Amino acid sequence: IQLLFTDAILALQECKTHLMDQFGDRATILETTYPERDHVFVDVIHASCSKGKTLQWLMRREHLLPRQVMAFGDNHNDLEMLEIAGHSFLMDNAAEDLKRLGFRIAPRNDADGVARVIHEYWK
């Protein structure tokens, strides 16, 4: 189960604080912020769930090694998944602090970045 709240950044700050106070020990509360658009997503998921854990589960089920997995992300809720995949890319529109972590950069998501990287790998 996932709850998602979305609005302007300032409008959701109090909501996020309240969610952290009420559910912080039982849930993971993730914020995906797009400052240039004054927009934020606040995700509330079970504390044991994440994109990274899901990717690990899929890799075990399909007997995949990290070098056989490609992942794309643009914000903090993608970080665990990006650290697991053998080929990890941040979108060019990713949060600036994430870009300093050393992941390869794909073109923006609105410039077909995922498709362009996949095409380059499978030439």
Interatomic CA distance for residues 104 and 91, integer angstroms: 9
Residue 58 has pLDDT above 90, yes or no: yes
Full-model pTM: 0.79
pLDDT attached to residue 100: 93
Chain CA centroid to CA 62, Å? 22
Mean pLDDT of the chain: 91
> Are the C-beta atoms of residues 74 and 93 closer than 8 Å to each other?
yes
Convert the pLDDT of each residue in 73-122 to its tens digit: 988 889 999 999 999 999 998 888 899 999 999 999 889 999 999 999 88
The encoded tokens of residue 114 equal: 């995922």
pLDDT attached to residue 1: 77
Interatomic CA distance for residues 44 and 20, integer angstroms: 9
> Are the C-beta atoms of residues 57 and 69 closer than 8 Å to each other?
no
For 94, phi and psi rounded to 5 degrees? -70, 165
Helix ranges (H only) for 24-93 are 51-62, 79-84
